[in-house]
Amino acid sequence: MTSPHDPREVQEPIVVHDRRRIDPESGAIRDVTVEPTTGELPPEPDAPAASREDELLGDLQRVTAEYANYRKRVDRDRVVVVERATAGLLESLLTLLDNVELARRHGDLHGAFKGVGEGLEQLADRQGLERYGVKGDPFDPAVHHALVQASEDPEASVTVVAEVLQPGWRLRSGRVLRPAGVAVSEPAAVAQSLDVPGDAVFETDQQ
C-alpha cells in the first residue's frame, strides 16, 4: 500500500470554474460561456407500434374514400354522356314515330310497314322514350307548347289542354325532347276577365 505522500501516486488536478458574471477584482461584466456537456442525450424512444398502425389505417381509409368519390364522379359523368347520346338518336326518330302513329289512326299500318313501325316503337320504348299529352291535362308551359286558344271551359278551374295537335316526347327520366303542341282552354271566369276571343291562334308555324 502506498503512503499518502508516495510520489508514485498520481492525483488529478482540481479545476475550479468561476461562473460569476461580475469580476470580483475589476467589477467588470464577464462573458460567461456555458461549456457543453460531454454526455450524450439519451435516444428518443421509438414510436409505439400501435400508433404506427393507426397512421397506416388512416392513410388507407383516406385513399379508399378518395377512390370511392372518383368512381361516383365517373359513373355520374358516364350516365350523362349516355343520356345525351340516346336523346340525340331518339330526337332524329320522332318524325318517323309520328308517321307510324298517324298511319295507325288512319288504318294504314299493316303489312311490312306495320312490322317496321312497331319494331321502331319497341326500340324507342326500350331506350326510355314515351309519348305524352292528353286532352284535359292542366296546361304546363314546361312540357306544353300552346299553339291555339280554344273556347273557354266552364268546368275547368285552371288552364287545360283542349286538344293535342302534336304529341310530346320525353324520356322517362323527365327530359323533354319535344313539347306537346296543344290548344288550350281558359276557365270561363278567367276568359271573361281577359276578354280573349275563342279560337284565337297563338302561332301559325305549326311543326
Which sequence spans correspond to the domains of the chain?
130-207
Instruction: List pLDDT tens digits, range 90-130.
Output: 999 999 999 999 999 899 988 888 999 999 999 999 999 99
Report pTM: 0.56
* 3-state per-residue secondary structure call for the chain: CCCCCCCCCCCCCCCCCCCCCECCCCCCECCCCCCCCCCCCCCCCCCCHHHHHHHHHHHHHHHHHHHHHHHHHHHHHHHHHHHHHHHHHHHCCHHHHHHHHHHHHCCCCCHHHHHHHHHHHHHHHHCCEEEECCCCCECCCCCEEEEEECCCECCCCCCEEEEEEECEEEECCCCEEECEEEEEECEHHHHHHHCCCCCEECCCCCC
Under 8 Å between Cβ of 174 and 143:
no
Question: Phi first, then psi: what are they for 129, rounded to 5°?
Answer: -90, 140
Q: What is the pLDDT of residue 206?
A: 43
200-201/144-149 β-pairing: antiparallel
pLDDT band with cut points at 50, 70 and 90 for residue 205? very low
Mean pLDDT lowest among 4-13, 157-166, 179-188 = 4-13
How far, in Å, CA of 33 to CA of 104, rounded? 109
Which superfamily, per CATH, for 130-207?
Answer: Head domain of nucleotide exchange factor GrpE (2.30.22.10)
